[in-house]
Structure 1
Amino acid sequence: MTRTMPAAVLWDMDGTLVDTEPYWMAAETPLVESFGGTWSHEQALGLVGLGLEDSARIFQAAGVRLSVTEIIDHLTDSVMARLAETGVPFRPGARELLADLKAQGVKTALVTMSMRRMADTVVDLIDFDAFDVVVAGDDARRPKPFPDPYLQACEALGVDIADAVAIEDSPNGLRSAVASGAVSLGVPLMLPLEGVGAHELWPSLEGRTAADLAALHAAHVRAVDAR
């Protein structure tokens, strides 16, 4: 029997749910420059969707003489300060789609490589009960692009990963979603997602509803059954 809705929808945070990637980039350049280094936009793009510990090691290689934990804390504090000033900068259509999923009774998880304290801050700023589960960077057994964060989210929700849809904006995050076995939707922001393995690419979430995600999931199930 085909579900009318997926059992769960799993959301990446930075760049997918909220447009915070510019906040991260704005924090990175002065950090590197404070240690006499240089940091380009291309280098910043290379970190999009990467686990914070891996990113911190790249900053160390760029000359930042701080520990991995100190780098993560510095960047997280900077982004959280911007969030406190601006509120939640939802990507177009994201809040509306999330609210529609909740109205339809679909389970939701936030699956992010940001630290839990930042993820919890974003969730707390949303004006409705948005997520059933949060898996953050300091919760993950292994970071994206490994599948672990998405698998952990489904374990916590009590659903089969094959019955879930994952939404991602970055190549690293999309690789994690695809490897997990979730039906994977790419919604690009700063980087192209062609050739990464998404089951479908949408240019935006604007105007999209829970019914659109149900149709995406059902089409994938039919394709698998036809093999």
Structure 2
Amino acid sequence: MSASTLAAVLWDMDGTLVDTEPYWMSAETALVERFGGTWSHEQALRLVGLGLEDSARIFQDSGVRMGIHDIVDHLTDDVMGQLATRGVPFRPGARELLASLREAGIPTALVTMSLSRMARTVVDLMDFEAFDVVIAGDDSTRPKPFPDPYLQACAVLGVEPASCVAIEDSPNGLRSAVAAGTAAIGVPHMVSIAGAGAHTVWPTLAGRTADDVARFHSAHLSSGHRGRTGGERT
């Protein structure tokens, strides 16, 4: 591995590590239709990277007559059921990059807006110990795009945000990672990440290794991007 001050790599889950967005969209469509409404692909795309409670309020506005927490629990249960029957759909190269990081001894954290029980389900279905820390939507003080989830992950790991790389696929996730002071890699999937502040964009994680992440982090620091301090907020 190339020389680097890289202390940890922080991963988003839905759309970055695993391609669960189609599972969420299926669950959302069924829920809205249950209350006599319609749910388009374009509407679903607007929820990518959004906190679950904020998403639940949008479903209420679309005619879903359920409480916010009931909506969140219902959608989570639906997606977890799909994971159990259809398996974990890893994004190209994601599992391999994670394994490379673990082999290199680089700490990793999962930072997701999904509920903890769903995040743990995904982690438990993996065939190796992939993460040192899991920060889920019900763990964070404020959701993405606030920096709180990434700051919490860094605090638990005992590392400075500027010494970490975050990997994200959504604008809200990237804004959260950048606001926290990490070096952010954008890996676009279902929505455009243009203008969201990614320090670099990788079209795919396929073929990427721990060395690639370490080199990116070193180049990021060398270019003068030292990140923000842990106490700064947006």
In the superposition, the TM-score normalised over structure 2's length comes to 0.94
C-alpha separation between the residues in 2 aligned to 1:165 and 1:5?
Answer: 11
Structure 2 Cα separation of the partners of residues 121 and 197 of structure 1: 30
SS of residue paired to 1:224:
coil
Give 1:176's aligned residue: 176
**RMSD (Å) for aligned C-alpha atoms:** 1.3
Equivalent position of 1:67 in the other structure: 67
1:141 aligns with 2:135: no
- How far is the alpha carbon of 1:5 from its aligned partner? 5.4
Structure 2 Cα separation of the partners of residues 193 and 58 of structure 1: 22
Cα separation, 2, equivalents of 1:22 and 1:6: 33
Deviation at 1:4, TM superposition (A): 2.4
Question: What is the aligned partner in structure 2 of residue 155 from structure 1?
Answer: 155
Could you tell me whether the CA contact under 8 Å between 2:97 and 2:210 is conserved in 1?
A: yes
Alignment of 1:50-199 (within 5 A): 50-199=50-199
Contact 1:5 1:213 in 2 (8 A): no
Contact between 1:5 and 1:210, CA under 8 Å: does it hold in 2? no
1:181 counterpart letter in structure 2: G
Q: Take 1:77 and 1:225, find their aligned partners in 2: how far apart are those partners?
A: 41
Change (3 A) 1:37 1:89: same
Q: Which runs of 4+ in 1 moved over 6 A?
A: none
- Which piece of structure 1 moves more, 78-87 or 111-120? 78-87
Alignment check: 8 A CA contact 1:5 1:106 kept? no
Q: 1:144 to 1:126 in 2, by over 3 A?
A: same
Equivalence for 2:24: 24
Structure 2 CA distance for partners of 1:214 and 1:43, relative to 1, 3 Å: same
Aligned length: 225
Q: Name the structure 2 match of 1:9.
A: 9
Q: Distance in 2 between matches of 1:30 and 1:121?
A: 22
Does structure 1 conserve the Cα–Cα contact (< 8 Å) formed by 2:5 and 2:163? no
The alpha-carbon deviation at position 36 of structure 1 amounts to 1.3
One-letter amino acid of the structure 1 residue matched with residue 25 of structure 2: M
Name 1:39's counterpart in structure 2: 39
Name the SS of the counterpart of 2:223 in structure 1: helix
Aligned mates of 2:210, 2:5 — CA distance in 1? 8
> What residue number does 2:224 align with?
224
1:40-60 per-residue CA deviation (whole Å, 9 max, x = no partner) reads 111100000000000000000
Q: Which amino acid aligns with 1:22?
A: P
Please tell me whether the aligned partners of residues 145 and 172 of structure 1 are also in contact (alpha carbons under 8 angstroms). yes
Q: CA deviation at 1:6?
A: 1.2
Q: Distance in 2 between matches of 1:6 and 1:86?
A: 35
TM-score by length of 1: 0.97
Report the CA distance between 1:196 and its aligned residue: 1.1
Give the 3 Å change call, closer, same or farther, for CA 18–5 of structure 1 in structure 2: farther
- The whole-number CA distance in structure 2 between the counterparts of 1:96 and 1:105 is 14
Q: Bigger shift: 135-144 or 86-95?
A: 86-95
CA-CA distance at 1:3 after TM superposition: 5.0
| CA distance in structure 2 between the aligned counterparts of 1:48 and 1:225, rounded to whole angstroms | 28
Give the aligned residue type for 1:9. V
Cα contact 1:147–1:176 (8 A) shared by 2: yes
